[in-house]
A and B are shown apart, each in its own frame.
Chain A
Amino acid sequence: MKVTYNWLQDFVDITLTPEALADKLTMSGLEVKGIESVGGDFVFEIEITSNRPDWLSVLGLAREVAAITGKKLKLPALPKEKPVKGKARVSISIEDARDCPLYTAKILTDIVVGPSPEWMRRRLEMVGCRSINNVVDVTNYVMFVLGEPLHAFDFDALHTDSIVIRRAAEGESMTTIDGQVKSLSSDILVIADTKKPVAIAGVMGGKDTEVIGSTKNVLLEAAVFNQVLIRHGRQKLGMQTESSYRFERGVDIERAVMASEYAVSLIRELASGKLAGSVSEGKKTAALPAVNVCVPWVQQMLGVTVSASRMKSILAPLGFMVTAKTKDILRVVPPSFRQDVKAPVDILEDIARIYGYDKTPVTLPSIKPRLLSNSLREWTTCVRETMVGLGGQEVLTYSLIDRELFNAAGFSGEAFVAVANPLSKEQEIMRPTLIPSLLQCVARNLNQQQEYVNLFEIASVYIPVAGGVPHERLMLGIALSGSRSLLLPHGLVREEIGLLHIKGIFQALAARLGISAVSFVASRKSDEISLLLGEEVVGSARMVAQKSLDAFDIKNKSVCVAEINCAMLIGKATAAKRFVQLPKFPSVSRDVNFVVKEEISAGDVIEAVKNQAPAILRNVRITDYYKGKQIADGYKALTVSCVYRADDRTLTEAEVNPAHELVCDAVKKTLGATLR
């Protein structure tokens, strides 16, 4: 809402500078977004909160200025004109009083339409309203002064002497003043003559009945329409006008009557003419119920001892009628333009606002400790920190994605939650997987010449549930690409990122979460590796297919992705720890080199060792791997390191040798391995 310094002076004496006034307004809840100096005046741009339609007027703002500066509000003296003798030449019919509580029409005849005087044109232009002609300008001017939108029809263009306020019929349409053809429906309120709609109530008038240079007689509308209906209608029509803005926030019935009279006097002054008729339908007053306010309650809430009389002196300039009901109870009657005031807390707010938020004390609440447990969040932090410790860079990506992105990442199907009103196709679906967004991040960074990308995200994915609320599942997504290089003193070591890195990450994560039963299963059907905790699959990993890499414009790099059900992982986590005695006796380590067929997995070798494990075998692991010239084609060499130890004695050669023999034989026998 724009208002000028001088215009406000019409209703209140201001002694403050524009800047000081702006500051005071801001600190009382009318945030001044800017002040512009225009030809000796100052235009204030003020943000008006949606609960205060009364502030959408110069008078309303002047009342606030008066209240916060301790000045008196100068109410304009409005001449009440009586219509010249004769029959009102129009009747009003309101179809439903809930849609339109009040409709007034004034007929002005013998009007001379022409330009407005300079002072009015300037004021309108300063608040952002284009001057049209003296009659239309008066309706706008009065709207700015009093907050009540008015509309003037060319009376002779109306096809009847009867005005009907009704819902539009399905299939009806109308051309509005801005030249747009609007198709109407039964949820839109219109002003109609007997033939057709002539205005979209509260939003915009029709082209056919517009007041133009040749207009001689005018019907001046001042009305109050249902807030919800106006809002709904203008949203449906995709319109927003100064008029609808005020109607949907709520217009004061008593001011509507006032506005009509004020406009008549201004039109008569500027465009001559006679008041030939005045009719109205509906109620003209809107008494609001009184609110009882408990004085000690206000004092307690604000932490200050504002007296009842001080409260009264704060509230009276705002238009409230305040009487003391008892010593502690004030009976407060809101003015008709304060439909937002319904409860004591509404009064409390006005008292606090004018008293000054900055004048209330500062204390700390005595918070009683109440530890609401949130183990999912705590463990999620643990997962995040482990990922960071492993060198991962956390990313945050949008939960809404493009359907094409989903498909490009190699996913298909319709198993996702769709957004009903996306702004663009980038927000079409709620992602059922983190992978597409991660691939997008990988592509972006590879494009920036990054050699090595190690990203992860912890976020929800959304799984549709038939007939119910979609499930939000917390996932951990990982994407690795490129190669990590280390410059060692003897030269550069390049480490190509691959699935074994995912395996390492998953193992480290599980270990950190106190989970031991981790395994990995390669699918025979796809390139996917399943990540298991016990028997349960909690995630999967794969090298991204060439087709997807192409779709994301990733060139000459392979990308490895994994997605783990973080909630499930966390479900298995445990913080319980139990100390195990450190060994008292030394261990003996034996390495053995097996040559096995290429298709035999290192995991199979470990498995074969473990199956035959004598009690003193405490640890087995692969310590080297070789494939090349020194080994026959189709075979590979694996070095297996076995650690033997007993808890109660130092092992002797005589004990270790046969045990190790047993282990070697088992591998030879079950896997056809030979010793190298």
Chain B
Amino acid sequence: MSGVDFDAIQASIEQEIVQILSVAQMDEFRLKYLGRKGILADLTGSIPTLPKEARGGFGQKVNALKTKLLFVIAEKEKTLTFDTGAPRKLPVDIGLPGIAHELGRKHPLTQVIEEITSIFVRMGFSVVDGPEIETEFNNFTGLNIPLEHPSRDAFDTFYLGTDAQEKLLLRSQTSPVQIRVMKKYKPPLAVIAPGRVYRPDAVDASHSFMFQQIEGVVVDKGITFSDLKGTLETFAKAVYGDDIKMRLRPHYFPFTEPSAEVDISCYICHGKGCSVCGRKGWLEILGAGMIHPNVFKNVGYGANEYTGFAFGMGVERIAMLKYGIDDIRLFYENDLRFLRQF
């Protein structure tokens, strides 16, 4: 045993000690070197087998190694956390409730409006606002909706009892903002207008006499139907995920032509058909179209000078689909147990 390489043992101790990260590893290390059947015990045990003259020097080296081991172990242990099994006394019972004031929250509809507007802002849109009290011109006539026409049936409207010269109403859609913006600015225009709208609907799980809409308008020279598709697809993917599909179904709105209702593939069943999409595989999320030339005429834009598109969506519907909410009234009841979920 006189051929023991003490330098090699020392080197491996140094190498191993730095790799120790836990108490368990430490115990293993200690056992390997200092245990009853450990390396040091082996070395000590081998002393009687050595020639007498070699025993003294060998014993010294073993002792030096032991001292070194005890030192590095002590040093290393300072850096490790020990689980002694018995609870350590903390300065506080950490099981007690944490101390913080309760977080405030934005209303879920505000959150959805902010999410939607921010998507469009990133695409280069500006956010504008318009009044809730409107004229018949801005809410109907200007938008190519004749006052006495069945197309108005979709827009039942609250009128106001004021002594103003003009007949006033509560806007039944955010589209009047189109008229206001186009009257005020010349293209190029890319705006988004969120806000409250009103329709005399009896309140039930899917109807509300007041709800939130978001209107979008893009007008410039050379804006096309495919630009509308691209913009809406970018939006839909940003809200519902990249793997959804979008489709445009021809529809009729007086203020756009061609018009479309826009569906996305149901993100629950991925188009297979489920209870959320009514077994159709598609969910309607908004209405859109190319702005009707009559609307441009009504705001004083030159004939054939510009083209553009407009779209409008109900915020509650988007939020209900997004969160799986089944009753529109929940948004306006403001029960904290509901609001705190968002």
Contact = CB atoms under 8 A, between A and B. Distances in A.
B230 A364 contact: yes
Contact of B131 (A52, A381, A393, A472): A472
A189 to B, nearest CB: 14
Contact of A390 (B96, B104, B251, B331): B104
A372 B177 CA distance: 14
A396 B105 contact: no
A296 B201 CA distance: 44
A470 interface: yes
Interface string A456-490: 00011010111111101000000000001011110
Nearest to B340: A393
B198 A400 contact: yes
Interface string B208-252: 011010000010101111110111011000000000000111111
Contacts of B234: 364
A125 to B, nearest CB: 26
A445 B250 contact: no
A287 interface: no
Interface stretch (A353-361, A510-518, A545-553, A604-612): A353-361
Nearest to A28: B250
Contacts of A387: 104
B150 A231 contact: yes
A423 B223 CA distance: 41
Interface string B250-267: 111010011111000000
A589 B164 CA distance: 63
A464 B162 CA distance: 8
B160 A360 contact: no
Interface stretch (A154-162, A344-352, A532-540, A649-657): A344-352
A649 B207 CA distance: 70
B128 A374 contact: yes
A149 B65 CA distance: 112
B249 A400 contact: no
A420 B160 contact: yes
B204 interface: no
Contacts of A454: 102, 104
A388 interface: yes
A392 B257 contact: no
Given A365-B220, A487-B96, A374 B225 contact: no
B306 interface: no
B249 A31 contact: yes
A363 to B, nearest CB: 4
Interface stretch (B27-35, B42-50, B151-159): B151-159
Contacts of A417: 133, 160-162
A124 interface: no
B336 interface: yes
B188 interface: yes
B126 A455 contact: no
A441 B160 CA distance: 26
Contacts of A393: 104-105, 336, 339-340
B4 interface: no
B213 to A, nearest CB: 14
Contacts of A389: 104
A383 B312 CA distance: 27
B335 A444 contact: yes
A63 interface: no
Contacts, number: 256
B106 to A, nearest CB: 5
B161 A419 contact: yes
B191 A489 contact: no
Contacts of B19: none
A231 B188 CA distance: 40
Given A302-B226, A346-B257, A365-B227, A467 B165 contact: yes
Contacts of B166: 469
Nearest to A229: B148
Nearest to B167: A420
A232 B146 CA distance: 13
B189 interface: yes
A392 B218 contact: no
B106 A353 contact: no
A419 B339 CA distance: 29
Interface string B316-336: 000000000000000111111
Contacts of A51: 151, 252, 254
Contacts of A430: 160, 170
A346 B144 CA distance: 14
Nearest to B124: A367
Nearest to A466: B163
Contact of B258 (A343, A352, A450): A352
A301 B290 contact: yes
B231 A365 contact: yes
B100 to A, nearest CB: 9
Given A393-B105, A400-B210, A444-B334, A372 B226 contact: no
Given A50-B153, A392-B104, A398-B209, A453 B249 contact: no
A448 B114 CA distance: 29
Interface in B76-129: 92-93, 96-97, 99, 101-107, 109-110, 114, 123-129
6 contacts: A27-B247, A50-B151, A352-B258, A368-B188, A423-B200, A464-B162
Which 6 pairs of residues, A with B, have the shortest CB-CB distance?
A29-B250, A49-B252, A367-B124, A365-B227, A388-B104, A303-B226
Interface of A: 26-29, 31, 49-52, 227-228, 231-232, 248-249, 300-303, 343, 345-346, 348-349, 352-353, 357-358, 360-365, 367-372, 374, 376-377, 381, 384, 387-400, 417-423, 427, 430, 441, 444-445, 448, 450, 452-455, 459-460, 462, 464-470, 472, 484, 486-489
Given A364-B234, A365-B218, A470-B133, 14 more contacts: A31-B249, A49-B252, A300-B222, A301-B307, A302-B226, A303-B226, A343-B293, A346-B257, A357-B258, A368-B190, A370-B188, A396-B109, A421-B159, A444-B334
